[in-house]
Structure 1
Amino acid sequence: MFPAIGLFGVFFCVFGGYIIFGGKIGIIVEALPKEVMIIGGSAVASFLIANSSHVIKKSMADIKRIFGGARFHKKEYMELLSLLYQILKTMKTKGVLAIEQHIEKPMESNIFNAYPSIMKDPFTIKFIADYLRMFSIGVDNPHEMESLMEQEIEKAKHEDLHSSHALQTMADAMPALGIVAAVLGVIKTMASINEPPEVLGKLIGGALVGTFMGIFLSYCIVAPIASRLKAITEEEMQFYMVIQAAITAHLAGYAPQVSIEAARKKVPSDYMPDFNELEEALSAIS
């Protein structure tokens, strides 16, 4: 909701303010299609040149994420902590072999399927299953496991930030593309130097629209989108750091309740359940 309000506010404040203070919107409206074609078209074309097909497709799909925000909220974190507690408790009381069938086929596991919010994210399922599988085959050094998990989280973060980086690069180029459009407008104006002042004034005003649109599209539209995508990615990576904290604490020899408490501390403050709330949820797990 807030991104939509923000976009509306940007257009209202910029163009509304221009009109309120006596600006002639007709000059902008008349020049807008040509300037947008030069700036927007060349920006998109440069974007296609600079990025792989995978990044281009992902960027287009990711733009809608600014309206939905991060995928993980308090409900998802509660389910994740409950799932991890159930797995760690089973390992502690029945041994590693008791969870082998669950980590080999997590999509068929009654433990995993008890948490539908977690099942919606294949990477989370794979992440948990892979590292529990490594533990089952003998990787039991908590520092080694923590390092391996951290490397995979960093890789996932790096790949997820491709869209943000690509859009930020495009935003950085747009003011210069606005200057290109303005220079073309000046060239057109100089070709009409014999025209009366009112005509020249209109042509110069149209040329300056190019500079304005380059800056406006960059700093008011594309750059905020890139920044928002980066913030969403960084927020979502906390979800996997919760898993990392729980598993490494278990490998260090802590009881399931202590391991989950260590993981709870990794939950973003906005979504972190308090100790009693989580304790009540875990006590319901058989």
Structure 2
Amino acid sequence: MLVVIGTLVVIISVLGGYMLSHGHLLALWQPYELLIIAGGAAGAFLIANPMKVVKESFSEMLGLLKGPAYRRQDYVDLLSLLYDIFSLMRKNGLLSLESHIEEPASSEVFSAYPRLMGEHHLIEFITDCLRLIVGGSMNPHELEALLELELETHHQEAEAPASAVMKSADSLPGFGIVAAVLGIVTTMSQLGGDTSKIGEHIAGALVGTFLGILLCYGFGGPLASAMESRAQEDGKAFECVKVAMIANLRGYNPMVSVEFARKSLSGHIRPSFVDLEGHLKGARAGNGG
């Protein structure tokens, strides 16, 4: 929602200020200049990035309209899922997790949280961590180092679309200059003809520079920053899982392990201890104890 509001504020402020200073709005309508700038930047974007990043970039842009992937209730569900897993490990041993790890979709533990089951990367990350614990006989330091490496790779991939959009945004002023130079070339070609067109062509060339700068700093750059912030925010779920897994492997009981994970979350999405405890008690009561 803030993306839409911010976009409207930029448009209204820039065009409104221009019109209030007695500018003519139609003078800014230069479709050929816009074609040069937007088309050039789009082509450079395709040259610079693999198809995977191109697709993810458009997907992430649309995702900004939906808000963050994980909300407070999702983190309550995630912490509850981790608590259930750790309780099962503590009660029945590590080998009791094998069937749940191999087929999480048919697991009564995982399927109790249908919203999380839709997050395939997160569920895969959880099950991979559990496989290492069950079959790897790893100590906490080894697991932490391995998970840090995996999370670093995950964060780099998640932030790749934002980085690609930012680089494309940085190229917009340059393409604005290209459009302006071409406009000047057109102006110079008119010197021997109708001189009344000279001012019109110069204005069009200046609009090209204006559009390149506006698209970069008013839309492209902020959009890339918003995508980067969303990727970092969504990565908190994976950090939460890592902290809980390591705490559990170090011998803490399920509730304390989950509390470690809860503390790793940002304040605005972190469920309170009372809310989480009440949710867990309600879940245990619903399961018959």
TM-score (norm 1): 0.95
**Quick one: distance in 1 between partners of 2:36 and 2:86?**
58
Alignment of 1:204-219 (within 5 A): 204-219=202-217
Alignment of 1:29-178 (within 5 A): 29=29, 32-178=30-176
Shift of 1:57: 1.6
What CA deviation, in whole Å up to 9, does each residue of 1:152-190 have, x standing for no partner?
111111111121111111111110110010011111112
Unaligned runs of 5+ in 1: none
Question: Residue 168 of structure 1 contacts residue 222 of structure 1 at CA under 8 Å; is this kept in 2?
Answer: yes
What CA deviation, in whole Å up to 9, does each residue of 1:79-132 have, x standing for no partner?
000000011011112211222211111111010000111111011111111111
Counterpart of 2:112, as a letter, is A
Shift of 1:140: 3.1
Shift of 1:11: 1.1
**Alignment root-mean-square deviation, CA:** 1.4
Aligned to 2:178: 180
Question: Residue 168 of structure 1 contacts residue 223 of structure 1 at CA under 8 Å; is this kept in 2?
Answer: yes
Aligned to 2:10: 10
**Quick one: distance in 2 between partners of 1:244 and 1:5?**
36
Counterpart of 2:236, as a letter, is Q
**Quick one: distance in 2 between partners of 1:60 and 1:261?**
36
Q: Aligned to 1:12, what secondary structure does the other structure show?
A: helix
Q: How many residue pairs are counted as aligned between the two chains?
A: 284
Aligned to 2:287: none
Tell me: CA distance 1:12–1:205, structure 2 relative to 1, closer, same or farther (3 Å).
same
Shift of 1:196: 7.2
Unaligned runs of 5+ in 2: 285-289
Counterpart of 1:143, as a letter, is H
Question: Residue 139 of structure 1 contacts residue 145 of structure 1 at CA under 8 Å; is this kept in 2?
Answer: no
207-216 or 266-275: bigger deviation: 266-275
Q: Aligned to 1:229, what secondary structure does the other structure show?
A: helix
Q: Aligned to 2:235, what secondary structure does the other structure show?
A: helix
Seq. identity, %: 39
Aligned to 2:280: 282
Shift of 1:198: 5.2
Counterpart of 1:20, as a letter, is L
- Point out 4+ residue stretches in structure 1 off by more than 6 angstroms: none
Q: Aligned to 1:284, what secondary structure does the other structure show?
A: helix
**Quick one: distance in 2 between partners of 1:40 and 1:86?**
51
Shift of 1:202: 2.1
Counterpart of 2:250, as a letter, is A
Counterpart of 1:283, as a letter, is K
Tell me: CA distance 1:12–1:195, structure 2 relative to 1, closer, same or farther (3 Å).
farther
Aligned match of 2:234 in 228, 233, 236? 236
**Quick one: distance in 1 between partners of 2:109 and 2:147?**
22
176-185 or 140-149: bigger deviation: 140-149
Q: Aligned to 1:253, what secondary structure does the other structure show?
A: coil
